[in-house]
Structure 1
Amino acid sequence: MADVVVRPAREDEWDAAGAITVAAYHADQYIESRTGGYADQLADTRARARDAELLVAVDTEDTMLGTVTIAHPGTPYAEVSRAGELEFRMLAVHPDARGRGVGEALVLAVVARAREVGATRVVMSSGEHMTTAHRLYQRLGFQRFPERDWNPVPGVHLIAYGFSLELT
C-alpha cells in the first residue's frame, strides 16, 4: 500500500474514474453491459462529484488505480446513512490493480474522512454476491447491519455494513 495515495479526484480525472468503476463492476459480473442502466450511473462521475465526494487512488506515477464515492446523509447519493454517519458507495479497483491494497486504502481514506467531519460511523451497502469486498470490510472491522439491508430494485438485494468510530 505504500505506493498508493488516495486523494480527491480532479475534474480532468472524472471520466477515468467512471471508466474504472464500470470496468471493475463489469469484470466482476455485477453489471452485464458497460453501457445502459446502472453502468451509466457508475460512469456518471460528474454527478457524483457534484453531489458527493469523489476520491481516487493513484500510484507514485499518478496512474489511477481505483475510486470511491463518499455521501453525506440526506444527499442524493446517500442510501443507508443516518445523521452523524458517513456513507461510501461505488468502491472500485481497476482489474489490473487488484491485490495491491488499493481497496483497503480507499476504505481507510473514507474512515479518515469520517473522522475529519466528526461522524460516529461509516456505513455502506453492497451486493450480496460481492464476497471479496465483504471479506475486506470484515477484516477492517466493519460489522453487518442487517436491519439496513434493502432492495433498490426487484431482484437486487443489498446488505449493509457499519464501522463505529466511537470504538476506535
Structure 2
Amino acid sequence: MSGPSEKSGGPLSYPSGRLGTMDIVIRQAQPGEYEALGEITAQAYLQDGLLSFGESDWYLAELRDVAKRAAAAEVLVADLGGRPIGGVTYVPSGGPMADLAGPGEAEIRMLAVDPAARGRGAGEALVRACVDRARAAERTGVVLCTQPVMHAAHRIYERAGFVRAPERDWNPIPGVDFTLIAYELTLSTAQR
C-alpha cells in the first residue's frame, strides 16, 4: 500500500492496490452519515460475535451513537465510491472517549469495517490515518484496546507497527470476566 496523499486540504486517500480505479478515502464523518456509520459499527461487532449479549448488549447503543463520539473525539469514515464502508474514533488526547491514553498519547477506538467490504484495505487505511494524525499533532504514541478474539484487527495493528502492551490490559466491566488487551505504538522524534 502506498502512503496517503493530501489534495489541497482535502481528505486523505489511501489506495489499496486491490480496488482498481476506486480509492478508499479517509475523511471526517459528516452528521448525515452518523446513523449509517453507527449501524456499520454495530453490525460488524454483532456479526463477528463480539457482543456478549447480542442485540441486548449495553455496548451496542454506544457503538451506534456516532454523534456522541463525534462530540468528544474525531470520527473518521472510510469512503469507497461515495459510501461509508467503515469508521474509527480517533481520540487526540484525553477526554471522555479515552480509555488508555496517558499524557501525550492519542487513542484509537471502535474500528469497524462493513463485513461485506472487508479485505479491501479500509481497516488498515483507517488505522494509518489515526497514526498520521497523531504524528502531525506530535503525540508521543498511539494506544488502543481490543478483544482477544479480534485476530484480523490484531494483524492490522501489528502491520502498522503496534506492539502488545500486556501491562495495560484491563477489564471495563468490574465483576465480569472480560479483559481487553492493549496495543501501543511509540512515535519517536525521528518518525515525526
Same structural fold, with TM-score higher than 0.5 when normalized by the shorter chain: yes
Q: Which runs of 5+ in 2 are unaligned?
A: 1-13, 16-22
Structure 2 residue aligned with 1:165? 187
Q: Which runs of 5+ in 1 are unaligned?
A: none
CA positional deviation for 1:82: 0.5
Which TM-score applies when normalising by structure 1?
A: 0.95
- Relative contact order (alpha carbons < 8 A, sep ≥ 6): 1 or 2 greater? 1
- Matching of residues 5-20 of structure 1 within 5 Å: 5-20=25-40
Corresponding letter in the other structure for 2:177: G
Q: Secondary structure at the match of 2:138?
A: coil
CA positional deviation for 1:14: 0.8
The separation in 1 between residues aligned to 2:82 and 2:139, in whole angstroms, is 30
Tell which structure's C-alpha radius of gyration is larger: 2
Q: Secondary structure at the match of 2:110?
A: strand
Work out the percentage of aligned pairs sharing the same amino acid: 46
Over aligned residues, Cα RMSD in angstroms?
A: 1.3
Number of equivalent positions: 167
Structure 2 residue aligned with 1:133? 153
Structure 2 residue aligned with 1:124? 144
The separation in 1 between residues aligned to 2:35 and 2:179, in whole angstroms, is 28
User: Contact between 2:92 and 2:134, CA under 8 Å: does it hold in 1?
Assistant: no
CA positional deviation for 1:72: 3.4
Structure 2 residue aligned with 1:92? 112
Moved over 6 A (4+): none
The separation in 1 between residues aligned to 2:92 and 2:84, in whole angstroms, is 24
Aligned: 1:143 with 2:166: no
The separation in 1 between residues aligned to 2:180 and 2:105, in whole angstroms, is 18
1:35–1:62 CA distance, 2 compared to 1 (3 A): farther
The separation in 1 between residues aligned to 2:150 and 2:31, in whole angstroms, is 29
CA positional deviation for 1:39: 0.4
- Matching of residues 34-113 of structure 1 within 5 Å: 34=55, 36-59=57-80, 61-113=81-133
The separation in 1 between residues aligned to 2:132 and 2:70, in whole angstroms, is 19
Corresponding letter in the other structure for 1:109: A
